[in-house]
């Protein structure tokens, strides 16, 4: 994608009423429609969605395929896709507006900062869909199922909030199993290292991202973990 095209999309994001952005990791403030400062911590339901329905986050959402798919599947719930890549978020946010998916929003920020933008008990569920596995030994703490991130999620999830990991990467899958099993306030509810070899345990798993289609074309097996954070 050309730099000019990216800059155009970044500019258009400011005109999208379903996108909020954090431009400075050292400053927890958010920018909303027309570049106006907003504070939605503890108020996503009331001030953005205009309801008190349960909220699900999709972390590392990319183009937002899962957020969009879940929004269509469960119109009575609210969904927020989170990613740092503005050009990718632009795609999902534009589709949500075109389809009038008022239960879909997008948050552009580093996931390391995510606890700054939600209050305790504000989020009911998390989907982590094909995140970067960070395979280098010095990058393990950047994996989205590492203890530092689990502690972060715990700050805003309801007690017993459900998390889902969907990945093609065996290293991330095995690491997540081992790591989550060792955390006393985490309970692994379901695990499967090849979800499409049998009937799916829940319909949401039939949704596929851009990257998942690529992985399946490369004949990779798709792995899934479901766990609760108390």
At residue 76, φ and ψ (nearest 5 deg) are -85, 0
151 has catalytic annotation: no
| Positions of the chain with pLDDT under 50 | none
How remote is the C-alpha of 179 from its chain's centroid?
20
The hierarchical CATH code for the domain 40-229 is: 3.40.50.150
∠ CA 168-171-172 to the nearest 5 degrees?
Answer: 70
Task: Look at residue 49 in the predicted model and tell me its pLDDT.
Answer: 98
Q: Tens of pLDDT along 133-145?
A: 999 889 999 999 9
Alpha-carbon span 79 to 126, nearest angstrom: 10
Out of 24, 34, 37, 132, the active site residue is: 132
Q: Tens of pLDDT along 1-15?
A: 566 687 888 889 999
How remote is the C-alpha of 113 from its chain's centroid?
13
């Amino acid at each position: 994608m050309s730099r000019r095209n990216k800059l155009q999309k970044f500019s258009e994001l400011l005109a999208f009423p379903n996108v909020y952005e954090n431009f400075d990791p050292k400053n927890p403030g958010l920018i909303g429609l027309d570049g106006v400062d907003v504070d939605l911590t503890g108020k996503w339901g009331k001030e953005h969605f205009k309801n008190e329905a349960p909220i699900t986050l999709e972390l590392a959402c990319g183009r937002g395929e899962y957020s969009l798919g879940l929004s269509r599947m469960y119109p009575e719930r609210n969904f927020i896709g989170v990613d740092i890549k503005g050009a990718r978020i632009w795609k999902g946010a534009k589709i949500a507006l075109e389809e009038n998916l008022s239960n879909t929003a997008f948050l552009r920020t580093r996931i390391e900062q995510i606890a700054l933008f939600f209050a305790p008990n504000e989020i009911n569920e998390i989907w982590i869909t094909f995140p970067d596995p960070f395979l280098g030994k010095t990058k393990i703490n950047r994996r989205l199922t590492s203890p530092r991130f689990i502690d972060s999620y715990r700050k805003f999830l309801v007690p017993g909030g459900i998390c889902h990991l969907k990945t093609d990467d065996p290293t991330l899958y095995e690491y997540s199993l081992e790591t989550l099993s060792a955390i006393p306030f985490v309970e692994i509810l379901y695990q499967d290292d090849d979800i499409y070899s049998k009937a799916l345990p829940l319909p949401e798993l039939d949704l596929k991202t851009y990257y998942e289609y690529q992985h399946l074309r490369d004949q990779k097996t798709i792995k899934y973990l479901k766990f609760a954070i108390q």
